[in-house]
Amino acid sequence: MRSVSNGPDAARSPSSVPYARSGGWAVAVAATLGMSVSYIDRQTLAAIAPTVRSALAIDHTQFGWLLSAFSMAYLVGAPAAGVVVDRLGARRGFAVAVVVWSVVAGAHALVTSFAMLFALRVLLGAAEAPSFPAAAQAIRRALPPSRRSAAYGLLFTGSSVGAMVAAPLALSIEGSYGFRAAFVGTAVVGLAWIPLWLGITRADRIPPEEVATSAVDVTPVRWIDVVRSPPVLRAVVAVVGSAPLLMFVLNFTPQYLVEHWHLPRLGTRWLLMVAPLMFDVGAVGFGWWASTRERRSGTGTGTGERKTHVDLFLVAAAMAALLVFAPLAPSARVAVMIFGVAAAGGGGIYVLATADMLGRVPLRSTSSAGGMTAAAQSLAHIVASPLVGMAIDRTHGYGTALVGLGLAVIPTSLAFALWPGVRAR
């Protein structure tokens, strides 16, 4: 088995070529758009959930299991996909994945039962598993260490941009042509992204500061080594605590606005953009803040030093935990703004935990580590989605779920901040 360092770029000695900022940021933008495509396809079901549930006679608990179906496949597929991408490279792995999941997403238009929809959600989760591992690897290869936190912040906006686009796009298509056409229309978007990705990512290169290590380290990536890595475990804990909160604001908000506040479905389109947009603000803002600190302090220069930014992380966690106050909101707009602040905090948690982790693992394990945090997110979704659905069904309201999701962020964030053996300068 070969290492990623044995590709064509290693032979050309990329250490002699400095980082090209414009080219590196172009890769980051293309990777972000790829993540957006994945979220458009996976969020289409959430956007048109009331119609699909009515057509197929699906209750809230079953809808929660549909969300978990995607995550079940992602849980298994993401770590495996990370190992594969570490061997094949981000360029090919990402392109093939988009082709496959676009076909599966379009096939959702053929559903006639809950069982069939459940099976397609499993297939979609498996097909989308390489997306984050491939995107994370591409950014690490394309940009210098002092700019990667900002780039990871940009990358995480892909999910919320996709969610923002998915809601109005899917609802508009559904309104004109029916919910089946919405699945087909959103699936086509991914096919248009592939030429852009292949054109920008000409090859998988090795970062200059890691050439020496990559040239001698040809040991294949072992999944168990990644699982036991302290930086990966630490990031997993942070993700597990915040993922259920973000799952709710991205997947349950449409139903929350219709059922709790009795808003018309088409009238919720713009409110549905608030939380994803605020997630973007949090991801980009915290990522930019961390990168700026590293450039000014001289860390993040490829020397192996890392800055954990515990203070920034705790600010993000406090923002996320504000979700507990959402049941007290006097109006739908105030509730959505609370969702937005919590989403911004969740974005900060994701970015800071990811940047810290990927700055501490070897280059050859980048996608594998990214796959582990993606799997952790999926595990959290698998557990939380049906529990949230059951809480709503049993209490006939959303208050219990909102308080529980907000409180869950606190212990995991404290565990990340106080993790033993990590120097938090």
Mean pLDDT calculated for residue range 40-54? 85
CA distance 358 to 360: 5
Model confidence at 261, pLDDT cuts 50, 70, 90, reads very high
What's the whole-number mean pLDDT along residues 14-43?
Answer: 76
**Is a pLDDT exceeding 80 seen at residue 216?**
no
Better-predicted residue by pLDDT, 238 or 171: 238
- Between 135-149, 182-196, 205-219, 234-248, the lowest mean confidence (pLDDT) is in 205-219
The answer for residues whose C-beta is within 8 angstroms of residue 97's C-beta and 6 or more apart is 81, 127, 128, 129, 130, 131, 134
Closest-CA residue to 218 (of 206, 230, 229, 203): 206
Q: Is the pLDDT of residue 113 over 70?
A: yes
- Say what the pTM is: 0.79
pLDDT of residue 206: 67
Provide mean pLDDT across the span 388-410: 94
Q: What is the mean pLDDT of residues 392-414?
A: 95
pLDDT of residue 220: 60
What integer pLDDT is reported at residue 245 of this predicted model? Answer: 95
List Cα–Cα distances, 326 to 15, 114, 331, 400, in angstroms. 51, 31, 10, 10
Q: In this structure, what token pair is assigned to residue 378? A: 């999926």
pLDDT reported for residue 18 = 47
Amino acid at the residue 130:
P
pLDDT for res 209: 61
In this structure, of 90-99, 183-192, 349-358, the range with the lowest mean pLDDT score is: 183-192
Q: Are 195 and 110 in contact (CB under 8 A)?
A: no
Spell out the domains of the chain, with CATH numbers in brackets: 4-209+219-417 (1.20.1250.20)
What does the pLDDT average to over 315-328?
97
The mean pLDDT value for 213-237 works out to 74
Q: Which residues contact 199 (CB under 8 A, 6 or more apart)?
A: none
Pairwise CA distance, residues 394 & 408, whole Å: 20
